[in-house]
Chains A and B, each alone.
Chain A
Amino acid sequence: MPGPSAPLLVEARGLTKRFGGIVAVHALEFAVRPGELVGLIGPNGSGKTTTINMLTGHLKPAGGEIYVRGRRADGLAASAFAALRVGRTFQITQLFSRMSVLENMLVPGLARPHSTRPAVTRAARQHLEFLGLAALEKLQAKNLSGGQQKLLELGRALMLDPDILFLDEPFAGVNPFLRDEIIALVRKLHAQGRTFVIVDHDIQALQRLVLRLVVMSRGQKIADGPVAEVRENQEVLRAYAGI
């Protein structure tokens, strides 16, 4: 567990996002230190995915600032965040459907500067091995099962050699075996030194996995702390009572 004085990996200050007249995220303060395993939960419409989208460059904040390793990053394109080694997966798995599993892995690898094809191919195969997808290398991504596609998407993010990974609903619609597999993979990757921020509705799974829980409701952060502490939080319970 990193100490309180460790430098921040990703930080959001006063982050705000509006869609039309609706405030999706309001003045959010959120910071992640290297080595953390954070869960981000909240009822539907609480702004979780919008926050992730802003923290990975897929949405531009209406207000506030984002810092990656201490440098301003809000307003940068998603590809710039990727170049800063901020990885992510999507709520609905986003793959290059008609490209092979290996090619899916090669794209982010070759997008990095100074990368060579042999080295990237080797790294891709290593990651595929780690994820148990090595035998499927030549298959088109669209022909994989749903679970395999989720793992491939994780693999693609790993090709960035990310310091921090934002996983958006990795357990959504996933059978218990795959869920446990994903939890095990995340633990292993975390042990290797990668930081995780995981958004999900499956509070049971998250509680097993993460060390810190952030709760959002209606675009605002209502709780942020160790899992046990947050669980007792009245406001959190009230927020969830509605569902």
Chain B
Amino acid sequence: MRALSWCGGLALAASVLAFPFLVNAYWLSVGVLAMFYAIVTASWALLAGYAGQFSFGHMAFVSLGAYTSGLLVKWFDIPVPLGMAAGVVVCAVVGSGVGFVGLRMRGPYLALFTVAFSEVLRIIFVSEVEITGGSGGLEVTPLFHTRSDMPSYYLGVVLLAASLAVMLALVASRWGLFFRAIRENEDAAAAGGVKVMRFRVLAFAIASAFAGLGGGYFGHYIGILTPDIGSVDQMGLVVAMAVIGGAESIIAATIGALGLEFLVEALRSYGQWRLVLFGALLLLTMRFARNGLLALAWEQVRRVDRMRTSRRAREVGE
């Protein structure tokens, strides 16, 4: 079993690194977007699946990070990485604010509040045309002035890897235990000495920071930034990616994002139907495979492995 995991992991890593050399420019651009969605989806999974804070405002932070970075670079001519870092900081701060304000709300009310917050932000971005360019779009300085998307892609891989490393370290630490405890039972966590308020705000701050990072990466890649990236439909896509992959596992959610983004493009010829398909897939997964398709697949692999070991044991016994 473990050998299988290692092989699979190495194969995955190899294909990720070799990817630009295996595909044409179109699919490479899809790869860039896949990296973006992976960062955003993983951080949402951390907040909602792992820490149990259902926020539907995640994309608002993506757009906030993108616009912050884009505008700072445009107005003050600072280097793009600095702009992106500023975007991350702004999102961490605003995210803390949302988390703090949302402390009084549990479950569905937090979800409602964050949806409303997300839409308000989007409306502001649409309306304040002089600043943001509104629906017409904001021209954002690109990160790399090359025609090829390769540097963007590899940057995405690095950012994703770094983000995952941080998130997984968090999950393995005692903070990860506290997040899960808060998710499972806030009252019991408080009675056990976990500073629930602090960790809920922290979860928001961290997840929003990563969303802002993804947003900055996306904005400076895409060149023309519109408020659509913060829409509820984009949130739905990310939720679908996380749930179908496996909302409570950061790795599973990441794989879900990568897989679904490629699927979205592969099914391009189906037009709008693919989003309906994803919606249906999301619902089916929730209904029949709540821990995500990867967990389902893993269970099947484990079952086959168990059957094989027990059959081998029986054969030896004879």
Contact = CB atoms under 8 A, between A and B. Distances in A.
A94 B181 CA distance: 11
Contacts of A79: 189-196
Nearest to A117: B174
A78 B184 contact: no
Nearest to A85: B193
A74 interface: no
Interface residues of B, number: 18
Interface stretch (A107-115, A130-138, A176-184, A204-212): A107-115
B177 interface: yes
A157 B192 CA distance: 7
Given A110-B174, A117-B174, A78 B191 contact: yes
A96 B184 contact: yes
A79 B189 CA distance: 8
A94 B188 contact: yes
B233 interface: no
Contacts of B174: 106, 110-111, 117
A30 interface: no
A74 B190 CA distance: 16
A77 B177 CA distance: 20
B178 interface: yes
> What is the predominant secondary structure among interface residues of chain B facing chain A?
helix
B184 A97 contact: yes
A159 interface: yes
A169 interface: no
Contact of A56 (B178, B184, B185, B191): B191
B180 interface: yes
Most A-side CB within 10 Å, residue of B177, B185, B193? B193
A27 B185 CA distance: 31
Given A99-B180, A111-B178, A159 B192 contact: yes
B77 interface: no
B193 A108 contact: yes
B197 interface: yes
Contacts of B191: 56, 58, 78-79, 82, 87-88, 90, 94, 156-157
Contacts of A160: 192-193
Interface string A98-110: 1100010011101
Most B-side CB within 10 Å, residue of A82, A98, A107, A159? A107
Most A-side CB within 10 Å, residue of B178, B185, B191? B191
B118 to A, nearest CB: 29
A83 interface: yes
B299 interface: no
Given A107-B189, A110-B174, A98 B194 contact: no
B301 to A, nearest CB: 21
A95 interface: yes
Contacts of A87: 191
Nearest to B195: A79
A97 B192 contact: no
Contacts of B181: 96, 99, 107
B305 interface: no
Given A58-B190, A94-B187, A94-B188, A107 B196 contact: no
Interface string B166-185: 00000000100110110011
A111 B194 contact: yes
Most B-side CB within 10 Å, residue of A94, A117, A153, A159? A94
B192 A107 contact: yes
Given A97-B184, A106-B177, A112 B193 contact: yes
Given A79-B195, A82-B191, A94-B185, 16 more contacts: A77-B196, A78-B187, A79-B189, A79-B190, A79-B192, A90-B188, A94-B187, A95-B185, A95-B188, A96-B189, A97-B184, A103-B177, A111-B174, A111-B192, A153-B188, A156-B192
26 contacts: A57-B190, A77-B190, A79-B190, A79-B192, A79-B196, A83-B193, A88-B191, A94-B185, A94-B187, A95-B184, A96-B184, A96-B189, A97-B184, A97-B185, A98-B184, A99-B181, A103-B180, A107-B192, A107-B194, A108-B192, A110-B177, A110-B178, A111-B174, A153-B188, A156-B191, A157-B191
